[in-house]
Structure 1
């Protein structure tokens, strides 16, 4: 199985006459990659989702399987999986999730050299750029809000975001049912902790280990830099739901992803990690 480096030494599009496949976990991921962020490479790269017929995420294991099966058939294929996949039963190294150094994280390649593990929890995290959020709020004529003010708003709910993400990691690690993305909606602070404690049937102190590790990503950082660092290890969907409520943004089902993804592209804010990954393919 050739690596990126080996393929880069030649012409990747001629190496595989069928072009390159990139498997993604969900139909939402597919829409963002194919229709918004990387539509300019569709002559060389074919994005595919491993989600089921209902659109539910196919998950890491299906991506890995699709990549392996395609390459066994001499079809050049790569995959993209969420960072939180490192907590799945299929992950050979859960500790990689807590790696802070980007280069060390990239080199770990727990699912092989053809499966790219996102540096952030999931695709939603790449949408949560303060500048993009600021533009969306302004475009919807809700109110004028600067990206700096967005960061201040996010900081006001940081504790809740950290606590919710720690809850998810605890559930996965202990094979407990993970509640829906909107779990605890309308609750904050002490009230949110009580709801989480009842769900987990444990005291909130049981999450201290996960909370400390999450917070370590933002140690001694402030403002935009703090959010960018924390955003690597926070549950993206829960963050998005909380921010919508906080800023009083109303969308049709899943519409916010398209709006934010478009704003991210138009503002030139597509994460360099993703751009570099796609560039290595063609």
Structure 2
């Protein structure tokens, strides 16, 4: 009889079930991948959270890497998916700021079995104009036909770039710097947001005019430079935006514009947007489809 002594507790069941494990950073990521987007792969792939108790804050990329190594040591087939912003935290700046998708993926900073998302994080894959439009129409009980296009989202480009730059700057600071909440500045626009960020940065002797802030803003803009088409510009720019901050911003904007109490909490909207994207398969990023297909073989 085979012994369980040499098998890590987390993998005892998997050792005899077979199949492929794909580790993600949180239970929320698992829910979107498994329940909304790739349920048709359930006979081949088991999506699992690497974080302790399913929480991204308990491990993130480090936990994904560890889980994949542990699975491989048990002769199990395992892969991992981590957010792009992990590269900032791991001081892999050159890869993080790479604007060319082909070169970005070719870098493979964590090995072939770990896919680094080309967009900042999972929330970025929800930032589809068509998904917002469909969900808003549902929330207004079909009373309205919201005009949500890439141009609509790009109307807030400057604010989103400033909020994302705040994230890139803070990620490079020592641990004593207090990170702002994901919803920071979501209710502020234009000059009001500019002043709010400046007030926060002043605590650490910086402003939006500081050279490091301006340099990161320019790097973010480089992702969409030379794109005149709103659809192409939004697609490219949204790769490098802080996804959670962007989602909070749009939830706040659409909640105010359409008076939707049910659209003010970003966490409650994620599943609905994922459903909208799943119902129109062409909205799901080809990158994700190709990655899961590669893992399944």
* Structure 1 and Structure 2 fold alike (TM over 0.5): yes
The range that moved more, 110-119 or 253-262, is: 253-262
Equivalent-residue separation in structure 1 for 2:95 and 2:238 (angstroms):
16
Q: Find the residue that maps to 1:183 and give its secondary structure.
A: coil
Secondary structure in 1 matching 2:209: helix
Q: Distance in 1 between matches of 2:280 and 2:158?
A: 29
Aligned to 2:216: 210
Match in the other structure for 2:9? none
Counterpart position of 2:119: 120
Q: How far apart are residue 190 of structure 1 and its match?
A: 2.0
Q: CA deviation at 1:253?
A: 6.5
Q: In the TM superposition, what is the alpha-carbon distance from 1:63 to its structure 2 partner?
A: 0.7
Question: What is the deviation of 1:54?
Answer: 6.9
What secondary structure, in the 3-state scheme, does the structure 2 residue paired with 1:257 have? helix
Q: Structure 1 residue 145: deviation in Å?
A: 2.1
Aligned equivalent of 2:8: none
Would you say 1:181 and 2:182 are equivalent positions?
Answer: yes
Structure 1 unaligned residues grouped into runs of 5+:
1-15
By how many angstroms is 1:155 displaced?
1.8
Distance 1:152 1:106 in 2: 28
Counting only pairs closer than 5 Å after superposition, residues 79-94 of structure 1 correspond to structure 2 as 79-89=80-90, 91=91, 93-94=92-93
1:264 pairs with 277, 282, 288, which one?
277
**Larger displacement relative to structure 2 (150-159 or 123-132):** 150-159
Q: The residue matched to 1:83 in structure 2 has which SS?
A: coil
Q: The residue matched to 2:225 in structure 1 has which SS?
A: coil
Q: Secondary structure at the match of 1:21?
A: strand
How many angstroms apart in 1 are the aligned matches of 2:209 and 2:295?
A: 45
1:46 aligns to what SS in structure 2? strand
Residues 59-74 of structure 1 correspond to what in structure 2 (within 5 A)?
59-74=60-75
Spell out, residue by residue over 1:81-107, the C-alpha distance to the aligned partner (whole angstroms, 9 max, x if none).
Answer: 001011013x5x221011111111111
So what's the TM-score if we normalise by structure 2? 0.84
* 1:53 alignment partner in structure 2: 53
Q: Measure how far apart 1:53 and its partner are.
A: 2.7
RMSD across aligned C-alpha pairs, in angstroms?
1.7
| 1:57-81 CA distance string (max 9 Å, x none) | 4311111111111111211110000
Equivalent positions of 1:1-282 (< 5 A) are 18-53=18-53, 55-57=55-57, 58-89=59-90, 91=91, 93-141=92-140, 143-146=144-147, 149-175=148-174, 176-201=177-202, 202-206=206-210, 207-222=213-228, 223-248=230-255, 249=260, 250-251=262-263, 254-268=267-281, 269-282=283-296
CA distance in 1, matches of 2:104, 2:248: 28
Counterparts of 2:75 and 2:180, CA distance in 1: 40
Counterpart of 2:81 in 1: which secondary structure?
Answer: strand
Q: Secondary structure of the equivalent of 1:280?
A: helix
Gaps of at least 5 residues in structure 2 are 1-15
Q: 2 CA distance for matches of 1:99 and 1:253? A: 28
* Counterpart secondary structure, 1:119: coil
- What's the CA shift for 1:177? 2.4
